[in-house]
């Protein structure tokens, strides 16, 4: 896997990432389900390359971040891993994650009410839309994840991390590694709780960044996964 230095990769604010998501859907008609598929497939690939787990517990929230975790569950199950998914708010799934959860149910992937130990924990609870400290079941699952003696791989951001300031909330996931999407977020770059930092392509065309006045190198010419180094 190719490593690129942090200085070579622009970082986005949360508002800029919202603009990227909006431009993808509204301007280019690249739908959320397509971006989610790319995120989850890359997450599963990194999980296998970096951690080689035989079993995986995936903690998923009700929104887009959780949907990426659900896609990863499908790809991991298809590749022979023992997978269980725990939904933090099963009654509040937004439409695209609900679609992904339905696929898993039809596949017979375990949808558990409580997490069980595994070789790897994937944190897909809360994305860049966090406001304040995590609460409720999400907070309980974060605390559980931090208490496991196995690696934790976070999708886009460790749940509970403020992506503007880089400060960890109470509670917040302390990840072994984080796979962030499209471009790194500002708060991730110096956050100890992010662990190793990786970057995944979710098919954002360079035109989107050009219109925002952001110049980016050809990051994904050789692979859809990169490691972000010092």
Mean pLDDT along residues 104-123: 97
48-52, 153-157, 185-189: range with lowest mean pLDDT: 185-189
Mean pLDDT along residues 5-22: 91
Contacts of 142 (CB under 8 A, 6+ apart): 123, 125, 134, 159, 160, 171, 172, 173
Alpha helices, DSSP H, located in 50-175: 64-78, 95-107, 136-146
Confidence bin at 165 (pLDDT 50/70/90): confident
Contacts of 230 (CB under 8 A, 6+ apart): 5, 6
The pLDDT of residue 39 is above 90: yes
Backbone angles phi, psi at 93, to 5 degrees: -60, 130
The pLDDT of residue 131 is above 80: no
Average pLDDT, the chain: 95
Q: Give the integer Cα–Cα distance in Å for 85 and 114.
A: 9
Confidence bin at 67 (pLDDT 50/70/90): very high
Burial 11-25 (b: 16+ CB within 10 A, else e): bbebebbeebbebbe
The pLDDT of residue 129 is above 80: no
The pLDDT of residue 130 is above 80: no
Q: How many CA atoms lie within 13 A of 131 on its CB side?
A: 0
pLDDT score of 132: 80
User: How confident is the model over 135-152, as pLDDT tens digits?
Assistant: 999 999 999 999 999 999
The pLDDT of residue 221 is above 80: yes
pLDDT score of 170: 94
User: How confident is the model over 177-217, as pLDDT tens digits?
Assistant: 999 999 999 999 989 999 999 999 999 999 999 999 999 99
């Amino acid at each position: 896997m190719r490593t690129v230095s942090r200085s070579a990769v622009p970082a986005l604010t949360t508002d800029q990432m919202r603009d990227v998501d909006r431009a993808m859907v509204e301007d280019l008609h690249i739908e959320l389900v397509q971006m989610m598929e790319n995120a989850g497939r890359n997450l599963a690939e990194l999980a296998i390359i970096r951690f080689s787990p035989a079993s995986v517990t995936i903690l998923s929230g009700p929104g887009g971040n959780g949907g990426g975790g659900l896609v990863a569950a499908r790809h991991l199950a298809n590749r022979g891993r023992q997978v269980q998914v725990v939904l933090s708010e099963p009654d509040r799934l937004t439409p695209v994650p609900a679609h992904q959860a339905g696929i898993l149910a039809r596949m017979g992937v375990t949808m558990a009410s409580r997490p069980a130990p595994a070789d790897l924990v994937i944190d897909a609870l809360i994305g860049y839309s966090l406001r304040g400290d995590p609460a409720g079941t999400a907070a309980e699952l974060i605390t559980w994840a931090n208490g496991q003696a196995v690696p934790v791989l976070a999708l886009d951001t460790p749940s509970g991390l403020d992506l503007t300031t880089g400060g960890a909330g109470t509670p917040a996931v302390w990840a072994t590694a984080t796979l962030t999407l499209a471009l790194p977020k500002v708060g991730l770059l110096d956050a100890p709780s992010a662990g190793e930092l990786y970057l995944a392509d979710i098919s954002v065309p360079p035109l989107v960044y050009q219109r925002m006045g952001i110049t980016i190198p050809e990051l994904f010419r050789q692979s859809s996964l990169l490691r972000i180094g010092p």
